[in-house]
Amino acid sequence: MTPCFSIPRGLAARARRWPAHAALAIGLVACSAPQDHALEEFSQWHDNARLQARAGLLRWSELYRESFDRLTALPSSFQQDSRLENTVLLLSTARKFEANEITAQQFAAEQGAIEARLHARLR
């Protein structure tokens, strides 16, 4: 007897793979939660440390050195990589400022430009 209705082979194969794709998606969402929490904790620490640096209670180079250390401890991600790359640039700029190689205005301008590029990348 010939069936009057049959499922095309490609569709049947995709239907069998669906549970595996769903499990992968659920796993990715579950794995991203700790990373998001770690980045959130880093951001909170960074905001507080930045306020201390602006108040003169913390050297800018110390802020960026500590940021580098904390970022390298986070799980690898686009956001972590982008922040790490900018932190290296900011650390270099802060060291130039603290060595009187650039003025406070030059430091502020460079710092603002680097941070603006980071924010644009993370959007």
| pLDDT for the residue 24 | 42
| pLDDT for the residue 4 | 56
Q: Are 111 and 90 in contact (CB under 8 A)?
A: yes
| pLDDT for the residue 123 | 86
Q: Determine, yes or no, domain membership for 109.
A: yes
Q: Determine, yes or no, domain membership for 64.
A: yes
Q: Determine, yes or no, domain membership for 104.
A: yes
DSSP string across 2-62: --S----HHHHHHHHHHHHHHHHHHHHHHHHHHHHHHHHHHHHHHHHHHHHHHTTSS-HHH
| pLDDT for the residue 27 | 46
Q: Determine, yes or no, domain membership for 58.
A: yes
Instruction: Count up the domains in the chain and report the number.
Output: 1
| pLDDT for the residue 54 | 95
| pLDDT for the residue 60 | 98
Segments of the chain with pLDDT less than 50? 18, 21-33
Helix 60-72 and helix 9-54, axial crossing angle in degrees, nearest 10: 160
Give the domain range for residue 114: 38-122
| pLDDT for the residue 12 | 54
| pLDDT for the residue 3 | 54
Q: Determine, yes or no, domain membership for 5.
A: no
